[in-house]
């Protein structure tokens, strides 16, 4: 009998660590802070990647690949950038048995090496905009790690673009933020809030940083994707210039934007329950698991032809199906796939064969989500169910998030919200130092200034000053 998961209400962190390994998403590696992506977990990333790659190419971006190793001097050319990353850098000083003349940094992000390339590739306004994306791994030597959420090495994409004007760069930055939100909502069934980061939370070296913020089931926030308007900071550091229509040399305006395998952690923590994962159908490696139900070889020979026919029809319709042929009891298989979060289970037993029926069970609804359908209607029924599961997961996560965001008008109210769990929403006009003090006193950070309420102004709950913008504060991963 499989041991039950630790309930979320008892220890959410322990539940998370258990489900990552019990659901076969990852395995521990011999290197501290790194994980092995097992096929089931890696395929979630492949589906995320396919979704984003399609949208990137639709908006004119091209994929390229840049070196893993970056000369240390490159990072030093943008002072704020290197200062922001210094504690996390992994540096190679010896290679081929010899001490290197210049240390090489293992890629923490690629603004510097790509900036150097852009300075050589861009000559005139005709070369702009330059729209590049890279699928890669990066290394940031984290001291406190957690699978998918924060690891020393992780997978991501990083987009880098160059433009002729500030407004073009800003439009690009916001366009990519919208694509990330589209992935979260339409792909991961994850309601996110688009917003601007505060000055102290922005990306090192950026003019402005935008984010999509999601609430997990323990009410903590998770930054799930960021998009940065880098202004001309990196262009000046790396001499990225173009000859304008007026025949004058001008610095480009650049952007960068990234989304990582942290999104897998978001999916786990926003949708999972005490029985295991609940995967959003559009990103799930397996959308339907087919389980034959039989007691002996005679019943097996009746059931399997129906299972084979239905799964062929589903695959032909583009549904990702897996047939569980293991020599285990149906009950064991039901529990196992419930743990793995497959959105829909297809069951066929001898009585179903005789009646021309099949059983479909929804992972998101438990026993209430079980129904009998005619075999000739399985494909249509599964398509409808997959859409219904997505909509339900999104609705549940949205309702949970909204119920745990509380409007505050005073610092005492804000502290009470953070202490009891949830996000505080209120007007903010505090300084950088005020923000640091709030973090020190409450453990909460300013997650973002929501774009949807960018025009609202009111009295700051902390300073009492007028003209504050709506801000969200919460504890975060």
- Tokens read off for 233: 């900071």
pLDDT by residue (tens digit) across 55-77? Answer: 999 999 999 999 999 999 998 88
Per-residue pLDDT tens for 1-31?
457 999 999 999 999 999 999 999 999 999 9
For domain 12-271, is the CATH number 3.20.20.80?
no
User: For the structural domain made of 405-474, what CATH number should be given?
Assistant: 3.30.110.30
84-96 pLDDT, tens digit per residue, is 677 789 999 999 9
Question: Tokens at residue 294, please?
Answer: 């039989």
Helix (H, G, I), strand (E, B) or coil at 285: coil
Residues in CB range of 107: below 8 A, 6 or more apart: 66, 67, 68, 69, 70, 113, 136, 137, 138, 139
Q: What is the mean pLDDT of the chain?
A: 96
Under the banding of pLDDT at 50, 70 and 90, the label for residue 190 is very high
Q: Which of 266, 207, 256 has its CA nearest to residue 476?
A: 266
Predicted TM-score of the model (pTM): 0.95
Confidence category of residue 297, pLDDT binned at 50, 70, 90: very high
Domain range summary for the chain, segments of one domain joined by +? 12-271, 288-388, 405-474
Q: Is 9 exposed, middle or buried (0-12, 13-18, 19+ CB in 10 A)?
A: exposed
pLDDT in tens, 417-459: 999 999 999 999 999 999 999 999 999 999 999 999 999 999 9
What pLDDT score was predicted for residue 473? 98
What is the Cα–Cα distance from 303 to 431, expressed in whole angstroms?
A: 68
For residue 471, give the nearest of 423, 418, 401 by alpha carbon: 423
- Radius of gyration of the chain from Cα atoms? 25
CB 170 within 8 A of CB 229: yes
Contact by Cβ (8 Å): 265, 154 = no
Q: Is the per-residue pLDDT at 320 higher than 60? A: yes
- pLDDT tens digits along 243-296: 999 999 999 999 999 999 999 999 999 999 999 999 999 999 999 999 999 999
Q: Which long-range contacts (CB under 8 A, 24 or more apart) does 300-305 make?
A: 302/350, 302/353, 303/348, 303/349, 303/350, 303/352, 303/353
285 CA to centre of own chain: 16
348 has pLDDT over 60 = yes
Map residue 33 onto helix, strand or coil: coil
CB distance 278 to 338 below 8 Å: no
422: alpha, beta or left? (left if phi > 0; alpha if psi -120 to 50): left
- State in words which class domain 288-388 has: alpha beta
DSSP 68: S
The proportion of the chain whose per-residue pLDDT surpasses 90, expressed as a percent, equals 94
Q: What is the pLDDT of residue 1?
A: 46
Average pLDDT over residues 37-53: 98
């Amino acid at each position: 009998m499989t041991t039950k998961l630790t309930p979320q209400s008892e220890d959410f962190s322990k539940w998370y660590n258990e489900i990552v390994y019990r659901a076969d998403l990852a395995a521990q590696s011999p290197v501290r802070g790194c994980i092995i992506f097992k096929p089931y977990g890696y395929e979630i990333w492949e589906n995320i990647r396919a979704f984003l790659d399609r949208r990137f190419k639709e908006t004119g971006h091209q994929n390229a690949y840049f070196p893993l190793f970056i000369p240390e001097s490159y990072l030093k050319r943008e002072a704020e950038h290197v200062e922001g990353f210094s504690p996390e850098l992994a540096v190679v000083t010896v290679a081929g048995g010899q001490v290197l003349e210049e240390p090489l940094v293992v890629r923490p992000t690629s603004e510097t090496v790509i900036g150097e390339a852009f300075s050589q590739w861009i000559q005139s306004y005709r070369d702009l905009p330059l729209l590049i994306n890279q699928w890669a791994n990066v290394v940031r030597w984290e001291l406190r790690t957690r699978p998918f959420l924060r690891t020393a090495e992780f997978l991501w994409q990083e987009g880098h673009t160059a433009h002729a004007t500030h407004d073009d760069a800003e439009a690009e930055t916001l366009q990519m933020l919208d694509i990330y939100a589209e992935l979260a909502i339409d792909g991961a069934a994850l309601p996110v809030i688009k917003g601007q980061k505060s000055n102290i939370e922005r990306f090192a070296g950026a003019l402005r940083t935008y984010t999509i913020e999601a609430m997990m089931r323990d009410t903590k926030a998770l930054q799930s994707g960021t998009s940065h308007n880098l202004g001309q900071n990196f262009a000046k550091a790396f001499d990225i210039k173009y000859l304008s229509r007026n025949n004058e040399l001008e610095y480009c305006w650049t952007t960068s934007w990234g989304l990582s395998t942290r999104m897998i952690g978001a999916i786990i923590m926003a949708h999972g329950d005490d029985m295991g994962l609940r995967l959003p159908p559009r990103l799930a490696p397996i959308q339907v698991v087919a389980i034959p139900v039989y007691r002996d070889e005679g019943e097996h020979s009746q059931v399997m032809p129906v299972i084979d026919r239905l799964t062929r029809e589903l695959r032909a319709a583009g549904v990702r199906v897996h047939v569980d042929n293991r020599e285990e009891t149906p009950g064991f298989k039901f529990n196992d796939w419930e743990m793995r979060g497959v959105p829909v289970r297809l069951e066929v037993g001898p009585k179903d064969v005789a009646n021309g029926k099949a059983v479909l069970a929804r992972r998101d609804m438990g026993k209430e989500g079980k129904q009998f359908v005619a075999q000739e209607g399985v494909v249509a029924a599964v398509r409808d169910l997959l859409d219904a599961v997505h909509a339900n997961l999104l609705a549940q996560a949205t309702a949970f998030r909204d119920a745990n965001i509380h409007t505050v008008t005073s610092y005492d109210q804000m502290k009470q919200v953070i202490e009891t769990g949830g996000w505080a929403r209120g007007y903010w006009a505090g300084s950088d130092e005020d923000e640091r003090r709030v973090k020190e006193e409450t453990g909460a950070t300013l997650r973002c200034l929501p774009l949807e309420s960018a025009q609202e102004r009111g009295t700051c709950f902390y300073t009492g000053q007028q003209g504050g913008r709506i801000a969200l504060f919460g504890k975060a991963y």
